[in-house]
Amino acid sequence: MLWMTFLSIYIKGKRSGWFSSFILSCKGKKSGEYLEIGKVGTGIVEKEESKEDNEKVSFKELTEKIKPLIIKEEGKIVHIKPKIIVAVTYQEIQKSPNYSSGWALRFPRVNTLRPDKPLSEIADLKEVEKDFHNQKRNWRYG
């Protein structure tokens, strides 16, 4: 499990009233640099009353927390201040030319919000690379 923060959001599909597809980021090498590492939309519940435990976050709740953090909107993409920390699980990490970090999380899932964690504690590139080298290898991806 890694701690990540959101950088931007896509507004589309059946959840168009909510922010629903989030770009995850990790810390870069420079101070204040955040690099994309994947997109996530799973692990977040649609209806608050369907929450199985209090740790799950709903799209509605997350949308309300994100609205004050909006920096700019470009069509269906909304850029936000990196303030919301989430615990993320994933199947594996792979190298990727598509994200600014050079890495991608395969099948990421939001486990819970971590308001108790400061932004300084999210995963950095060294931690991501270490997890990549320590994971069980999938011969097709790395």
Architecture of the CATH domain 2-134: Beta Barrel (2.40)
128-134 — which CB contacts under 8 Å span 24+ positions?
128/2, 128/26, 128/37, 128/93, 128/101, 128/103, 129/103, 131/2, 131/93, 132/93, 132/94, 132/95, 132/103
Look up the pTM and report it. Answer: 0.80
Nearest to 40 by CA among 109, 128, 124: 109
- Are 27 and 125 a contacting pair, CB within 8 Å? yes
- pLDDT tens across the length of the chain (142 residues): 667 767 666 555 555 566 778 899 999 999 999 999 999 988 888 776 554 555 678 888 888 888 899 898 887 788 889 999 999 999 999 999 999 999 999 999 999 899 999 999 999 999 999 999 998 765 555 5
